[in-house]
Structure 1
Amino acid sequence: MLGLNESWLAPVPKTWQVRKFYQTFRLKSGVAITSDRISPDDAFPVYGGNGLRGYTDDYTHDGTYLLIGRQGALCGNVHMVSEKIWASEHALVVYPTIKLDQRWLFYVLQTMDLGQYSMATAQPGLSVDNLSTLRLPVPPTELQTKIAQYLDLRCGEIDDLIAKKRSLLALLAEKRSALITRAVTKGLDPTARTKPSGIDSLGDIPAQWEARRLRFVGRAQNGINIGGEFFGKGYPFVSYSDVFKNFELPQEVTGLVESSDADRNRYTVRSGDIFFTRTSETIEEIGMSSVCLKAIPNATFAGFLIRVRPYPNILLPEFSKFYFRNTSLRAFLVKEMNLVTRASLSQTLLGNIPVLIPPREDQEKIAAFINENLAALNDVASNIENAIERLTEYRAAIITKAVTGELEVT
């Protein structure tokens, strides 16, 4: 990947230029679209901060364009489209101001890992102003085309290998999800007596278990609302990404915020707290949970999150981290979510989530069972992920050498 210090730019061949983004192309946000206009059945793809969101009945752009994700967990991703599409306000559209081969530019931007320039705020996001001063090496147009053709061939071979490995990861993820969902909703004894849960979406549950709505299990609290200038220094801060990417919160979060004493008293992060992602442009990012297994002193949490602090002696944190990620709960949220311009999870809807509460001994056994059975699956997944990482690094190295002139393409 290309470094923040841009040392990769020196030296470049004498016939090449080094240009800043704003000297090479304009970046402009797309057009807002409400989620009720997006469906899987319409004709025109909708691209947002994390790539393809779905389809709609109209388009904003017709032609070949590069799109950069502006906001969301995967901001900085780069897509090249050559069709009629709707670019949403969460995507940046690239408009070249000089003659460029767009395929070549796609490889350059993809390799620059633009996500590393996201602002240190409550939710990852890219600023046009911050990106505009980045620099890139620009060879003559004819050479741009040759580099793009070379990389199409080389990267295509690598991408095929990566795609096959990602398919294996997807199968493992399905297996993990099925294991977790079965254990946390039906228990470990298939012969156990059952009873009606009283909640239609749950059906029958083990006779010794309770079923409650989340509002009767704990107290909800939205996160801190503070200006972007306060981020990047100060006290620990649990970000949107910390929750979205992890079943359990990292022991050491990387985010920092200049929070006040009152903030740190109100938005605490304690063992057993359950955090949910509250808002995004897509429903897939909403209601993702992460559980704190060990308190983080002096920490606060993002306004894009909701913290639920369970009442004492109800939920074992090790059980919670699996229960609130089970697929039946995700299905419940997808069904109940009311989508507008941005998907948003209210405390009212969150409080209506059905929660199964086994006896504490059962919670301990279920957590131990899942951890034990996931270990082997996780080992296999880790090996595949390592292989993908090596292939990705090899791919990036090839692109970097080609687009900086280190590798001569003829």
Structure 2
Amino acid sequence: MRKMKDSGIEWIGSIPANWEVHPVYFYFTERKNKNIFGAEQNLLSLSYGKVIRKNINTVGGLLPESFNTYNIIEANDIVIRPTDLQNDKRSLRTGLCKEHGIITSAYIALKPISGFNVSYVHYLLHTYDIMKVFYNMGNGVRQGLNYSEFSKLMIFIPPIAEQNAIAKYLDNECSEVDALVSDIQHQIEVLEEYKRSVITEAVTNGLDPDVEMRDSGIAWVGDIPAHWITHPLYFYFGVRKNKNALGLGTNLLSLSYGKIIRKDINSNGGLLPESFNTYNIIEKDDIIIRPTDLQNDKRSLRTGIAREHGIITSAYIAMKAIKSVNPEYFHYLLHAYDVMKVFYNMGNGVRQGLNFSEFSRLMVFEPTIEEQNAIVEYLKEKCDEIDLAIAEKKQQIETIEEYKKSLIFEYVTGKKEVQA
């Protein structure tokens, strides 16, 4: 067993005795090379711990009109996202650049000086990142860090031969782990697609395979059972507008991944307002629609059904049933419309948002109440089965990701040694 020493870094503990400890600035300078003439067009972004390409010609979204303030970076630069440290403690904040390109100047670009393996240091900083080390820098929790502050971070470096061995070993091992995660993620996507098809089939065709069909008159739906009735949404639902004017409502709800969930109203920071007096009071079985930012965000699920009394942002549309219908059926139907991206074509072309008056003109169809109830029960059972399978796959990914984190930690801190 090799000789160890105290690293002097509390969250690391012991490291091999022949490893050196220095601040980041001993190994890196800050790369500042503004794209002032806008000549560079290879747009890069830090996403899930990787520096990836983005389409510079994308319309809308969060891209600026000009990239002249962006920073030109090079292969082997390490990119750090030092912003919003107080509120966002989940994002991965480090990435290793693989190519020449431009990236937002809100990020720190670390330019290696020489004489060491940059990939090893990236793995080390990744370990610091997942251990949430950056959040304790700068005299307490800070909204952001600059290079001067970040560069004082103490890191440790093995001899160059060991750096190379560690980096090569981790490249190989992490590549295998990432491939396995990618395969499981694909399985999840297949299950999600199957779930969408099960819902769409049930809410548009019903459960009787022998039923007589007719043209629905709705282009994205096609045929429906001949006895189903077609009306605009406002025939079945009205808008619920009940402001939390006195601030008495405190059960804060939010639409997240197609579900209405509780949020902590006392949470510090984040996107919560100072007052909830403008929020809308909603009730169980209300259908919630997020009609905002239709032009830019085409990925989020925009429908949910409330399971309880609470308050939710008035930026959302809250719909209450005004006929004797099963709101769960109409929620499943609108979910099917949602995943078919129907909402994006409403309001005379692509619109930033919709109000209830516009949204309620959407044509929907009404099975008999008995059929509505049967479809809801069928879909609850089928979706529960699929959701369970998806949850198991996600747990597998979490387990594998935890293994990857521990693997990197053990080798970049010298707890384990790469065997020759």
TM-score range, shorter chain: 0.5 to 0.7
Question: In the alignment, which residue of structure 2 is the partner of 1:270?
Answer: 283
Question: In the alignment, which residue of structure 1 is the partner of 2:4?
Answer: none
Deviation of 1:156 after TM superposition, in Å, equals 1.4
Structure 1 contact 137–404 (Cα < 8 Å) conserved:
no
Amino acid paired to 1:55: N
Deviation of 1:118 after TM superposition, in Å, equals 12
Deviation of 1:175 after TM superposition, in Å, equals 1.1
Aligned mate of 2:98, from 82, 95, 101: 82
Are 1:244 and 2:256 an aligned pair? yes
> Where does the alignment leave 5 or more consecutive residues of structure 1 unmatched?
1-5, 32-42, 120-125, 225-233
Question: In the alignment, which residue of structure 1 is the partner of 2:298?
Answer: 284
**TM-score, structure 1 as length reference:** 0.67
Question: In the alignment, which residue of structure 1 is the partner of 2:193?
Answer: 174
Point out the more displaced range, 127-136 or 7-16: 127-136
- The residue matched to 1:283 in structure 2 has which SS? coil
Q: Kindly name which structure, 1 or 2, has the bigger radius of gyration based on alpha carbons.
A: 2
Are 1:361 and 2:370 an aligned pair? yes
Q: Quick one: structure 1 residues 66 and 214, their matched pair in 2 at CA, closer, same or farther if it must change by over 3 Å?
A: farther
Are 1:347 and 2:355 an aligned pair? yes
Aligned mate of 1:390, from 387, 394, 399: 399
> What CA RMSD, in Å, does the superposition of the two structures yield over aligned residues?
5.0
Deviation of 1:406 after TM superposition, in Å, equals 2.2
Question: In the alignment, which residue of structure 1 is the partner of 2:13?
Answer: 10
Are 1:256 and 2:266 an aligned pair? yes
Question: In the alignment, which residue of structure 1 is the partner of 2:157?
Answer: 139
Are 1:316 and 2:326 an aligned pair? yes
Q: Distance in 1 between matches of 2:21 and 2:43?
A: 35
Structure 1 contact 244–289 (Cα < 8 Å) conserved:
no
Deviation of 1:395 after TM superposition, in Å, equals 0.8
Structure 1 contact 235–256 (Cα < 8 Å) conserved:
no
Q: Quick one: structure 1 residues 261 and 101, their matched pair in 2 at CA, closer, same or farther if it must change by over 3 Å?
A: closer
Amino acid paired to 2:218: I
Q: Quick one: structure 1 residues 289 and 147, their matched pair in 2 at CA, closer, same or farther if it must change by over 3 Å?
A: farther
Q: Distance in 2 between matches of 1:86 and 1:67?
A: 11
More contact order relative to length (CA 8 Å, sep ≥ 6): 1
| More helix, by proportion | 1
Structure 2 contact 21–157 (Cα < 8 Å) conserved:
yes
Structure 1 contact 217–311 (Cα < 8 Å) conserved:
yes
Q: How many residues align?
A: 365
Deviation of 1:11 after TM superposition, in Å, equals 4.2
Deviations 1:159-197 (Å, cap 9, x if unpaired)?
222222222222222211111111122222233344444
Q: Distance in 2 between matches of 1:336 and 1:352?
A: 9
Deviation of 1:367 after TM superposition, in Å, equals 1.6
Aligned runs of 1:78-117 on 2, under 5 Å? Answer: 79-83=95-99, 85=101, 87=103, 93-96=107-110, 99=113, 101-111=117-127
Are 1:63 and 2:81 an aligned pair? no
- Determine what percentage of the aligned residue pairs are the same residue: 18
- The residue matched to 2:298 in structure 1 has which SS? helix
Amino acid paired to 1:290: G
Point out the more displaced range, 213-222 or 139-148: 213-222
